[in-house]
Chain A
Amino acid sequence: MTPDQVIFILCAAVIVVTAIMVVTSPNLIHAALWLIATLFGVAILYALLQAGFLALVQVVIYIGAIAILFIFAVMLTRREMRDKGPQLNKNWALAAILAVLTFGGLFYILSGWSGFSGKAAEIPAGMDTLRNLGFALVSPDAYLLPFEVASILLLAALIGAIYIASASKK
């Protein structure tokens, strides 16, 4: 076992356990905090995959913005927090079976794939993936258009969120 593998296994364990806590925790604030732990684990995975930029973006966006937003939303709808009853609906058993089936199906399909246990090549020395990413995002030959479209999407979401959530004027 190399240090990489140790880190991966620790991370994976954290991710899976916390993810299960996210979907089962009866207290929504706890669920949101568990989500943060999950997301942090995923960020470490990115770092392990040598995508440092994505790891930090993951932390900034998910933990710094999205998770906080979740906590805010939970607090703004806090009457639900007092529901001490079950937080799962009636067919949670069916849902669990479906989830397990999905996992099994994905595993089955993936395991039949030739590249399943592929090894990663070393990133060649002198290749700056961050630079490549930056150029890819602003080059018309690559992803300039999707990038711009994403910005429009964010703008639309911003306006839409403000409009929807603002108190209706009567």
Chain B
Amino acid sequence: MTFWNDPINLISEWLRGIFMGWGMAANLAMVITNIIGIFVIILFAMAIAIFLVWVERKVVARFQDRLGPNRIGPFGLFQPFADIVKLIIKEDITPEGADKLIFNMAPVISLASVILIWAVVPLASQIYGVDINVAVLYLVAAGAFGTLSVIMAGWSSNNKYALIGAFRMVATMISYEIPMVVALLIPTIIAGTMSLKEISNAQNGIWFAFLSPLGLLLFVISAIAELGRSPFDLNEAESEIVAGFHIEYTGMKFGLFYAGELLHAFTFGGFMAVFFFGGYGGFFGLEKLAAFSWLSNPFIQMVVFLIKALIGYWVIMWIKYSMPRIRIDHMLAFNWKFLTPLAFVLLMMTALLDKLLAPTNFYVSGMFISNLLFAWIVIEILRSRSKQERAHDIEHAEPVELAAHH
């Protein structure tokens, strides 16, 4: 065990040794080490969040043909710190009639729900908070707190726009949770485990994105909806309800929501990497070659993971800044009438094929082709449906009253 191939354990052993050297009980030393570990993870996540503020602003600027922050630091890299200072010194307003405790707790829970997830994110084969065998479920559970924070913020603000925004957001999150969970079950089924580390390892040979491209698509769509980002950003539709559930928040409280959202998006980018792109590994067996054995180094793996996550995050941003907003009823109908059934059929198909094809040589190609086939069928059905609807619309179209000719 050296620092290079197992840094976390080495440090924690070392710390524990120090504490026990101070005369602490083994139990207590363990607890304190763990608490330090928790803080490290939180700090790491927060540091990423700060970095993300810069990334987001820079990328959106490029999408919108602007330069973005470029004054403070090289490439405006220190802009986030300036932002933080600004947020902190702003007046902290709690509106009249707000439910103070809940109002103040909501942003904390919002950020906490994201940071909770980081406990299970496998940054590398040896760098992770905890490897639990129900990690996939843990993600969903942590997401539940996100929902909670939204409704708390919306309700306690004593503002109708906030409440409407919260309702929309919660409706979206609860609805899209279903296809998302189902999409998460697909890698679970293929890997045969819910542990994120195991899922990552299972993709050393082939990424699940190739085994289940449709699952990936489902996951991306429902993840974006879960994040409440455009095109699913009904919760903060500026033109309708001003800013949604966080309308009344100012200063650092808003900052927490903002950081939480960015970090959440990045985290989902990370999950895309973990579930479908091999996580920290997934070099298609390359790391087994002696020349590439350095790929198994935890630090390299961490860098690989973060790059993959950033790419995922970039895709989410890309969609956010190029799509218009969808109407709320369309969005819920899209979920319940299309995405959810699709997800369930896909799940059953995957489960079945996984069992049937596993012993054969056509596993990869079979899964891939079946996904394509399924997608094709769905598109055909959609096409015929829309044709019918168009025909129906034309048939029942109200004749337009033309202005009378004089």
Closest Cβ of chain A to B177, distance in Å, is 7
Interface size class of B (residues with CB under 8 A): 20 to 34
User: In the complex the two chains form, is B151's CB within 8 Å of A64's CB?
Assistant: no
| Contact, CB under 8 Å: B151 / A52 | no
Q: Are B141 and A60 in contact (CB under 8 A)?
A: yes
Q: A117 — which chain B residues lie within 8 A by C-beta?
A: none
- Asked if residues A52 and B177 are in contact (CB atoms below 8 Å), the reply is no
Q: Restricting to B131-164, which residues have a CB under 8 Å from any CB of A?
A: 132-134, 137-138, 140-141, 143-145, 147-148, 151-152, 155, 163
20 contacts across the A-B interface (CB closer than 8 A): A3-B27, A29-B99, A36-B148, A52-B132, A53-B134, A56-B138, A59-B144, A60-B140, A60-B144, A63-B148, A64-B140, A64-B144, A64-B148, A64-B177, A65-B144, A68-B151, A68-B174, A71-B151, A75-B155, A75-B167
A56 touches which of B99, B137, B147 (Cβ 8 Å): B137
Interface status of A168 (Cβ within 8 A of chain B): no
Asked if B234 CB lies within 8 Å of chain A CBs, one says no
Which residues of B have CB within 8 Å of A45?
A: none
A154 within 8 A of B: no
A33 contacts B by Cβ under 8 Å: yes
The B interface, classified by DSSP as helix, strand, loop or mixed, is: helix
B31 and A130 form a contact (CB under 8 A) = no
Q: Does B170 contact A (CB under 8 A)?
A: yes
Taken residue by residue from 47 to 88, chain A's Cβ proximity to chain B (1 for < 8 Å, 0 otherwise) reads as: 000001100110110011101100110010000000000000
**Extra contacts besides A53-B137, A71-B151 (5): CB < 8 Å:** A30-B102, A33-B152, A64-B141, A64-B144, A130-B133
* Inter-chain contact A29/B144, CB cutoff 8 Å: no
Question: How many residues of chain A get a CB closer than 8 Å to chain B's CBs?
Answer: 22
A80 smallest CB distance to B (angstroms): 15
Q: Does the CB pair B174–A56 fall under 8 Å? A: no
Contacts of B143 in A (CB 8 A): 64
Which residues of chain A are near B152, meaning CB under 8 Å? 33
Interface residues of B in 145-198 (CB under 8 A from A): 145, 147-148, 151-152, 155, 163, 167, 170, 174, 177
| B-side contacts of A33, CB under 8 Å | 102, 152
Q: Are B137 and A64 in contact (CB under 8 A)?
A: no
Name the B residues within 8 Å of A75 (CB-CB).
155, 163, 167
**B interface residues (Cβ-Cβ under 8 A, vs A):** 27, 31, 99, 102, 132-134, 137-138, 140-141, 143-145, 147-148, 151-152, 155, 163, 167, 170, 174, 177
Binary contact readout A108-142 vs B (1 if CB under 8 angstroms, 0 otherwise):
00000000000000000000101000000000000
User: What is the CA–CA distance of A72 and B132 in the complex, to the nearest angstrom?
Assistant: 32
Cβ-based interface call for A91 (8 A): no
Q: Which residues of A contact B132 (CB under 8 A)?
A: 52
Chain A, residue nearest B181 (CB): A60
State the Cβ distance, A63 to closest chain B Cβ, in Å. Answer: 5
B147 partner, pick from A3, A57, A64, beta carbons under 8 A? A64
Contact of B145 among A2, A57, A63, A65 (CB under 8 A): A63
